[in-house]
Structures are given as structure tokens and as C-alpha cells.
Amino acid sequence: VMLLGDSGVGKTCFLLQFKDGAFLSGMFIATVGIDFRNKVVAVDGVKVKLQIWDTAGQERFRSVTHAYYRDAQALLLLYDITSKMSFDNIRAWLTEIHEYAQKDVVIMLLGNKADVSSERAVRTEDGASLAREYGVPFMETSAKTGMNVELAFLAIAKELKQRAVQPQDEPRFQIHDYIESQQKKPNCCALA
């Protein structure tokens, strides 16, 4: 799984929240190049090992990260809901993805920093509508509160597990439906 998106949208924090349940406020150390962490999640009784690659969002590291796209099975593409520019750049990220990644890669669009509602610059509907246009699932998240962080990785793990081991005759896992059903659950999306 690769985390992609502009510098500062919260990729490293998103990964650390998932891996360690931690968030360090006020610190921003830009990722240099690329780094990875592993986490095992249980999906319907099967252990799925996610190897999660945290990429540098800064332009100058792009050639390094491009080399990793083709081995990725899933891409979490993040923007920052308080940064219109990070949202406007999503189309360029999707163009890069289509150029460098595998055709059947699982893509999910995430509007991060949803806890900072007072500085919101991108409407939820605009994120949802862009995701619909590209046929990818979408959620707003917060690496700070943990909102939807685990759900994003679990949905990816379920999709990847289904691709790897699901017998043909069983109904196909639908990532869009799964996210929608989980988000409707009480307490699922409450900000901490």
C-alpha cells in the first residue's frame, strides 16, 4: 500500500496513527524519499500483512517514488481539506498514477485533517464528486483523531484479501458498499 499526495497533507501522521495510534501535534518533518512500516490486520479470520509505503510529497523526490508505483497493489491518495491546492493537485496525482501504477491498482481518495473544520477549504461534496468522476472510493479522515484511519486500511486489506484468496463463486467484496455501510455505523465517524 502506498500513501500519496502533496507535502504536508498528513501521510506520515496517517500511517503513524494507524500503526501506533499516536499523533504528534505541531511537528512537521517532511519525509525524505520513501519509508515503510508493516502492520498485520485480521480480515474475516485471515491475517493480512500490509506493507505500507510512506512517500515524500515534495516534487524533488518524485523520481524516487515513481519507481515504487508499479509494485503497489493499493494507493491511498490524500489531500488536506484545509488546502484547496492539495485538492486541485489530485487530478495531477491521478494522471501520474495512471502513468506509473498497475492498471488494476486499488485507489482510495482521502480528504485528511477533517478535524480542522474551522479552516475547511474543500467541501465534502467536492471530494465525493471528484472520487465519483474517477470511480474511486472516498472518505474524509483525521490522522489527529483517528477518524476513518483504520477503516481506510481495513477496506484496502479486505479488497486485497478478496483478490488474493476469494473463491470465484463467492460474492465479490464491494469496497464502496463496505465503506458506506461502516461509515453509517453509530460512533464510527465521531470526532474524538
Bridge partners, residue 159, by sequence:
none
Q: Which of 9, 76, 130, 151 binds ligand GTP (CB under 6 A)?
A: 9
DSSP 89-149: THHHHHHHHHHHS-TT-EEEEEEE-TT-GGG--S-HHHHHHHHHHHT--EEE--TTT-TTH
Is 43 or 147 the residue whose CB approaches ligand GTP more closely? 147
Q: Side chain identity at 113, as an amino acid letter?
A: K
- Minimum Å gap between C-beta 57 and ligand GTP is 3
Instruction: Note whether 191 binds ligand GTP by CB under 6 A.
Output: no
> Binding to ligand GTP (CB under 6 A): which residues in 93-132?
112-113, 115-116
Q: Are 40 and 49 in contact, with CB atoms under 8 Å apart?
A: yes
Is 56 or 152 the residue whose CB approaches ligand GTP more closely? 56
Q: Which of 57, 111, 127, 137 binds ligand GTP (CB under 6 A)?
A: 57
Q: Are 65 and 55 in contact, with CB atoms under 8 Å apart?
A: yes
Handedness of CA 112, 114, 118, 123 (dihedral sign): positive
> Binding to ligand GTP (CB under 6 A): which residues in 138-157?
142-144
Instruction: Note whether 162 binds ligand GTP by CB under 6 A.
Output: no
HSE (CB half, 13 Å, CA atoms) of 190?
Answer: 4
Instruction: Note whether 8 binds ligand GTP by CB under 6 A.
Output: yes
Length of the chain: 192
Q: Which of 19, 34, 36, 58 binds ligand GTP (CB under 6 A)?
A: 58
DSSP count for the chain of H helices, then E strands: 7, 6
- Record the cell numbers describing residue 77, joined without a space: 491518495
Site string for ligand GTP, 17-46 (x = CB under 6 A): --------x-xx-xx---------------
> Where on the chain is the footprint of ligand GTP (CB under 6 A)?
7-13, 25, 27-28, 30-31, 56-58, 112-113, 115-116, 142-144
